[in-house]
Each structure stands twice: as C-alpha cells, then as structure tokens.
A and B are shown apart, each in its own frame.
Chain A
Amino acid sequence: MMETSSQSNGDSEQLRPGLWQTVNERYPGSMITKDDLVPLARLKKPLSECRLTFVSTSGVQPKGSLPFDTVHPVGDYSFRRVPSNSIPDDLEIHQLKYPTVGAKKDLNVIFPIERLNEIADEGLLGELAPDFFSFIGYNMDAERLERTLAEDIADAVEAQASDIALLAPA
C-alpha cells in the first residue's frame, strides 16, 4: 500500500461549500470550531508498554445495555463502556446515522475490537484498558457535548490509566 502524507496548515477547506452554513442554520452552534491546535502529548514509554483504550462514535454497545436514543432531536449525550475483552457477538449497534451494512457482517470495520486484541496479544501494545468507550455521533449541542459527554469520557479514560486513546468516528 503506497502512502502519502499531508500536514494540516490550519485552513478549513470545505469540499462541499455551504454545507456547514446549512448545518449551523438548522442546528445553531452544532459545528464545533477551534482556533488553535491541541498541544501534542508525546509517549513517555514504548508502545509495547502502553495501555490503550478505544473511543468510538459508532454506538456499539454490549447487548442488553440501554440503547442509545437515536431519535432525540438534540441527540444522546451518554456513553457506554464496552469491555475490551468482548467478542463481536456480545455487542450490538444502535445507530441510525451511518450505514451499518459492513459492521453487521464484521464489527471490526467500525469497532476493531478483535484487531486491537490481536495487536495487544502480539506484544505491539502493552495491554488494552479494561473498557473501551462508545457513544453516538449525533449531538447537536456542541457546548453540551463538550461540557458533559467529552468530560465524562475523558474522566473515565483517565480513571483506567490509559496511556493512549485511539479515537474513531463512525
């Protein structure tokens, strides 16, 4: 696989001009904007000694846990803990905002829990955190998202002493 790389220069180039304006008109304040870059946090030990957690907006959750509210007009600001030793058959998706056809065949296309366990078992990572974290990406109140859900997940990740958080949108 050939690879290219590019570095963000801070410019926001909309591939679909006018889309963000439309989204903001319908859901005022929903588009999060940032004026600066997050300071880079460097690893303090080798990857092979690091604990990793996974944070996803896929809405994957353990079977039997409270389904996400996928129809609320402003969104669902809760998250679910997904034990990192779960198998795909233990999990389900409650999400309407993205096509789940691939995930229903192989959950790893959106929530690569098996791949992460394999990588940890091989010793490329120290270990996986006890829990991964999942929420749904449909949150129209950006201020509430930042004040509640983001803080709650950050606290939960920190409580499990993870060195790395791999974040993946759906």
Chain B
Amino acid sequence: MDVTKHIRPPRAVFVPFMMGHLFGVPFHKKLQRCIILEALDLLVATDESGFIKELAVTWAEVRRQGKDI
C-alpha cells in the first residue's frame, strides 16, 4: 500500500496478496474476475484522482478458498 500511495495512480485497487499473485490464487476464477470488475468499477465510480480501493480480503482467506477449488 505504501508503494501504491507513493506513485499516486489516478485510481487503483489494492489487494493484500503475495507478489506474483495480483489476481489471487490458481483456478479461483470468481476472485480473479472480481478483482478485474472492481478495477473497472472505479472507472465509473471515482470522482477524483488518487482514489485507492482496498479489498478487505486476506491472503490467508484466499489461499484457503483456493485449496477448496
């Protein structure tokens, strides 16, 4: 998050995931799709530059979900 804030993108979705796993875990199509749609939603919903949306899901939770797939 500190790096994301530092570079000041016009709009961003922040995910607390392991490096190299920006869109989640293998075969978790629902999550991968969700992250993309959250980013697309910002194109419509953002009012001013610098907005960062945090997804309140943990890496541990995502990994658990991935193991069930």
Interface residues of A (CB under 8 A from B): 1-8, 10-16, 31-34, 36-41, 43, 47, 58, 98-103, 105-106, 108-110, 112, 115-116, 118-119, 124-125, 164, 166-170
Report how many A-B pairs have Cβ atoms within 8 Å: 138
Q: Known pairs A12-B2, A13-B5, A112-B35; list 15 more (Cβ under 8 Å).
A: A1-B57, A2-B56, A2-B57, A10-B5, A10-B50, A31-B6, A34-B8, A40-B10, A99-B19, A100-B20, A102-B18, A102-B20, A106-B25, A108-B29, A124-B40
Pair B26/A37 contact, Cβ less than 8 Å? no
Give the interface size class of chain B.
Answer: 35 or more
By secondary structure, the A interface counts as: loop
Contacts of B22 in A (CB 8 A): 109-110, 168-170
B51 to A: closest C-beta gap in Å: 5
Answer whether A105 and B27 are a contact pair too, CB < 8 Å, given A3-B55, A3-B56: yes
